[in-house]
Structure 1
Amino acid sequence: MTSRVEASPGAVLVVTGTSTDVGKTVAVAALAAAARADGLRVAVCKPAQTGLVPGEPGDLAAVVRLAGELPCAEVVRYAEPLAPETAARRAGAPHLRIDEVCETVEHLRREADLVIVEGAGGVLVRLAPDLTLLDVAAAFDAPMLVVTDPGLGTLNHTELTVDTIRATGCEPAGLVIGAWPTDPDLATTCNVDDLPRLTGVPIVAVVPAGAGAHDPTDFQAAAPTWLRGPRLWPAASEELFTRVKETQ
């Protein structure tokens, strides 16, 4: 149920995870902070938030606390801590629609050079009965980042996630280690080499464990150093990025 969206100024980067609790929200905050440090206007979209009632601070509040004030939009919210499809069904609430997500992202793109879209759990988690984050990425021809755990078991989870992304025609832009421990064990240190070797996808950022508890000023200063190699911002934002840098 993929729909196409006409090109707009801002680029879109979609962030998924190999599972839940792998550090996806803190990774999104780090990416947002690093992009802002590069001079880009950044916005963040969370299509579906679960496990919270209206008024409670969710993932977007955590992103803003760490990365600083920036435009954010949550499309739907369900109270029970379940997959969005299940939470909506149990609540008797309308399921999320792809056009709602696209309209929200398009609105953010009008005033942003980069819109980061954070998924819920893993890449095949149902946002609605016939909707996953893969449909959102396809709608914008957006690359996907995969946030993964560095420990034992990650090779299987990460390979399955990357293979699923590729099977749908989307391009995995990179792997992000969501929480690098201060004292990594043997499996963790080996996985740093094995993850890119087995998936064919580079590790593009390594976020230290506990980063979400950092002082916001320290977090924003450190976030750019957690990125590896060339910046992740999609090619669609390169011209905008160049113009911004030329005016500085």
Structure 2
Amino acid sequence: MTVLVVSGTGTEIGKTVVTAALASVARAAGRSVAVLKPAQTGVGPDERGDADEVVRLAGDEVVPVELARFPEPLAPDTAARRAGMAPVGPWEVADAARKLAGEHDLVLVEGAGGLLVRYDDEGGTLADAAGLLNAPVLVVAPPALGTLNMVTLTAEALRARGLVQAGVVVGAWPDEPGLAERCNVRDLPEVAGAPLLGAVPAGAGALDPAAFRAAAGHWLAPALGGTWDAEAFTAAVVR
């Protein structure tokens, strides 16, 4: 794949760290990588955004591109409206991703929050951008109670739009998983209708960048360039 859209089932679930892991694995394989953040919200002009964090963790060779930045931590369309700034629509996202795809082996498009968060006042979403790009969507989900419903809804939205779900990655696997987390590992691929393609440890973003890059391949399945084994992981945690 040349373009991979990374969406979450919500906010603050590890989407940026998963994107950094994807970039790290691709760079380790010798691929050139760009990360596209269509709309960064809740960050000031001189603060580091999500694309910058991916570069910090994955390495300076990764090219960060941010189409717009809005100061308030809101949905992109709301944040743009309140800031009196022009929003970023799906066509702009798709055009930017296509341009980057002509210059890089892999383009990671990291969304804001969930799949259907509005980007402009016409209701454009990350799903619309994925459709324009005909790109697969990787869903990042939390492992805790409630995630099965969110993953199911996201999967239904993808299927309704004729979009391909590459799979699901657990964004922050806890050191001491409870009953819900352990059971959800088995159920996530079933409700998603797509494979479980990784589990990134909680707190991975706080690792030293060199340690992060060295470990990233152990968190992602071969389909994403890593060595993580879904069957072995599930057997180890489900009991």
Relative to the length of structure 2, the TM-score reads 0.90
Helix, strand or coil at the partner of 1:32? helix
Q: What RMSD, in angstroms, separates the aligned Cα atoms of the two structures?
A: 1.4
From 101, 104, 111, the equivalent of 1:112 is: 104
Distance between the aligned counterparts of 1:63 and 1:110, measured in 2?
A: 21
Are positions 1:30 and 2:21 aligned together? yes
From 70, 79, 89, the equivalent of 1:78 is: 70
Deviations 1:159-191 (A, max 9, x none): 111111111110111001000001100110010
Relative to the length of structure 1, the TM-score reads 0.87
Deviations 1:51-88 (A, max 9, x none): 11222111011101100011110001111110010011
| 2:234 alignment counterpart | none
| 2:4 alignment counterpart | 13
Distance between the aligned counterparts of 1:153 and 1:221, measured in 2?
A: 32
From 168, 175, 179, the equivalent of 1:175 is: 168
From 149, 167, 170, the equivalent of 2:142 is: 149
Percent of aligned positions with the same letter in both sequences?
54
Helix, strand or coil at the partner of 1:134? helix
Contact 2:151 / 2:191 at 8 angstroms: preserved in 1? no
From 196, 201, 209, the equivalent of 2:189 is: 196
| 1:224 alignment counterpart | 217
Helix, strand or coil at the partner of 1:226? coil
Distance between the aligned counterparts of 1:204 and 1:191, measured in 2?
A: 14
- The worse-fitting range, judged by mean Cα deviation, of 101-110 and 212-221 is 101-110
Aligned pairs (5 A) from 1:115-154? 115-129=107-121, 130-154=123-147
Contact 1:40 / 1:114 at 8 angstroms: preserved in 2? yes
Aligned length: 224
Deviations 1:205-233 (A, max 9, x none): 11000000000001001101111243369
Deviation of 1:108 after TM superposition, in Å, equals: 1.7
Distance between the aligned counterparts of 1:226 and 1:25, measured in 2?
A: 14
Listed as ranges, the gaps of 5+ residues in structure 2 are: 227-239
Contact 1:196 / 1:203 at 8 angstroms: preserved in 2? yes
Distance between the aligned counterparts of 1:100 and 1:183, measured in 2?
A: 42
Deviation of 1:97 after TM superposition, in Å, equals: 2.6
Distance between the aligned counterparts of 2:222 and 2:99, measured in 1?
A: 31
Listed as ranges, the gaps of 5+ residues in structure 1 are: 1-9, 234-248
Are positions 1:163 and 2:140 aligned together? no
- The worse-fitting range, judged by mean Cα deviation, of 59-68 and 101-110 is 101-110
From 74, 79, 88, the equivalent of 1:96 is: 88
4+ residue runs of structure 1 moved beyond 2 angstroms? 97-100, 229-233
Contact 2:197 / 2:220 at 8 angstroms: preserved in 1? yes
Distance between the aligned counterparts of 1:72 and 1:38, measured in 2?
A: 19
Contact 1:71 / 1:108 at 8 angstroms: preserved in 2? no
Deviation of 1:107 after TM superposition, in Å, equals: 2.7
